[in-house]
Chain A
């Protein structure tokens, strides 16, 4: 049955996440954006909050098995709070999907159990290289088997939490001539000799999020750090990479919705409270109509995100729907934040406008990372036309 109403548990969970965003994230967001630093107290506070929250979620899920939908609810609130800070919340992060989908049960236990020990731990995913972004199959980072060890050489960048991650799931090729089929996921622990942290990037937005360069110089890891639980096909490694992106697309969509909503709320409030009384009525009406349209589109983006998440919960293949929600939300967050900047331009450069400008700077990357806007449209087209080769 078609239903857009959240259950009581889902609403309570979302409200809890919203409170966390209000209390832990908004008060420090501007400062962290300015300094590109996050106080350690934030990590400990979030750890505590989310242990409590996850317990509640687990209880609620017994009833409904909508893990992905639950996750979208909290992601939206976290991004409403501050998207950069949300990427820094302790946890396995983007390292989890490949470990869960490609790791053996033993590997899953070995790698993921540290995240339950009550200390601060992060995870990272190293895919992108200076020479390849969208063209994942063309990667140059290599892995060569030498006795009981894999030796990794190469260069990854734009890795979220790359410098602080306890585990970096690194995609490397065992044979470049094999193209996609040669790509495999390897777990590289922090501090492994040969794993060198390079620069930390300075970015337009998501500035408080740590974006690192990692250099692999004869970096040796144990043989059984290759995630090889599903050796069913040659291309399983490549599929692990793509599968990770499929799983994270709705999450990225949810983050974009959170930022768009934050900007939209702020713009609406500014118009109501700050727009000078002498503003021409017609112009005011135009602005209100524009904000109304954006509000509708935020709702549409949210429903597309929920749909993709719901399909994942139902175990229905959702690659097209995942790409749709990310493509739509990415365009929408640009539209919403750009409109907020433009509409509030005449105002004082106060805290509200500082936030709006930050959200505008944060928004742009949502059409770029985790699959560019163009790649998303390509994926959608390929799913719509499976019988046609669309290069």
Chain B
């Protein structure tokens, strides 16, 4: 049966995430952008809410992740600040991928540290996008070739949040010679293996500076068999990849909503020719379209998230997750760009956050 209202519990979680976003993330956004990372104290606050540890309770987490609930949380975090949201989400994807695709030994080793008292100090990462593509599973072309008692990796990765410094550091790969989802796999890169990888911290980024990231280049890098998460081609890999798309889409929707709200407030107060600029149709219509397109993108996201929660790892899920990501990033870009426009000259200045949000949205590509 069709329904569009979150449960009571989800509303409560959403309210909690929203208050953390407004009270903590938003005020620290510019500082985090300047520092290129999240402040330790803020990460500790966030971790204390329990929102950042959706892992099996056996390992000390708050319970297995529900994508629809986390779509709501991701949107609130993105509403607070896109860069900080991606910092947090990007980190979570490390242990989340291990939880979805790894065996018990791997889960125990890599997830437990995130759930302890010092868990807020841990960082994970998941490498998805490559130099030759974007956020579509078909674009994954970094390969793993079986050799001796391990695998040889070739290819590239970019925009890996926490890629330079994280544990677990997970990489999405394709078994050489395969096409389609059955060939997708995920491998752990510990610091030893990393020695053979060309890792470059990304500097001078356009946006999302609060989410430190790195690019990788693999040239015949050897990894042991035990580094592969579960069996190559296991459905958990597709589930992890699609979950990342869904959470990113949530962050993007949050960024769009921030822009809509901020520009809307400004347009309601800024006077020109004797009346608030929102009373002019040129401005009013921009805002109407922003609101309409955001609502549409959010519904597509919720559709993907509820699909993910029904289980499975097939083409239909991949399609829904990729569509949600594509449309969410699109509205994030247009809404933040329009927000700068609505603020006029002031929008171009760094006094206001909208120019940062526009750069953050563009960096989601």
Chain A residues close to B by CB (< 8 Å)? 1-7, 10, 64, 66, 69, 292-293, 296-297, 299-301, 303-304, 306-307, 310-311, 321, 324, 327-328, 374, 376-378, 380-381, 384-385, 387-391
Contacts and interface: CB of A to CB of B under 8 A. Distances in A.
B285 A310 contact: no
Name the residue among A292, A324, A328 with the largest chain B CB count within 10 angstroms. Answer: A324
Given A328-B293, A380-B291, A385 B3 contact: no
B349 interface: no
B296 interface: yes
A292 B325 CA distance: 13
B284 A10 contact: no
A304 B1 contact: no
B4 interface: yes
B363 interface: no
Interface of B: 1-7, 10, 68, 264, 268, 275-276, 278-279, 281, 284-285, 287-289, 291-293, 295-297, 299-300, 302-303, 306-307, 323, 326-327
Contacts of A296: 300, 323, 326-327
A304 B296 contact: yes
A304 B299 contact: yes
Interface secondary structure of A, over-half rule: helix
Given A3-B306, A300-B296, A378 B2 contact: no
Contacts of B268: 385, 387-388
A301 B264 CA distance: 24
Given A328-B296, A388-B279, A4 B288 contact: no
A301 B295 CA distance: 10
A6 B287 CA distance: 32
A3 B291 contact: no
Contacts of A388: 268, 276, 278-279
Contact of A374 (B281, B293, B297, B302): B281
A307 B7 contact: no
Nearest to B264: A384
Contact of B68 (A2, A324, A378, A380): A2
Contacts of A64: 1
B288 A381 contact: yes
Contact of A10 (B2, B4, B297): B2
Contact of A1 (B5, B300, B303): B5
A281 B56 CA distance: 46
Contact of A303 (B68, B278, B299): B299
24 contacts: A2-B6, A2-B68, A3-B3, A4-B302, A4-B306, A6-B1, A10-B1, A299-B303, A303-B299, A304-B295, A306-B2, A306-B4, A310-B3, A321-B295, A324-B292, A327-B289, A328-B292, A376-B288, A378-B284, A384-B264, A384-B287, A385-B264, A388-B279, A389-B279
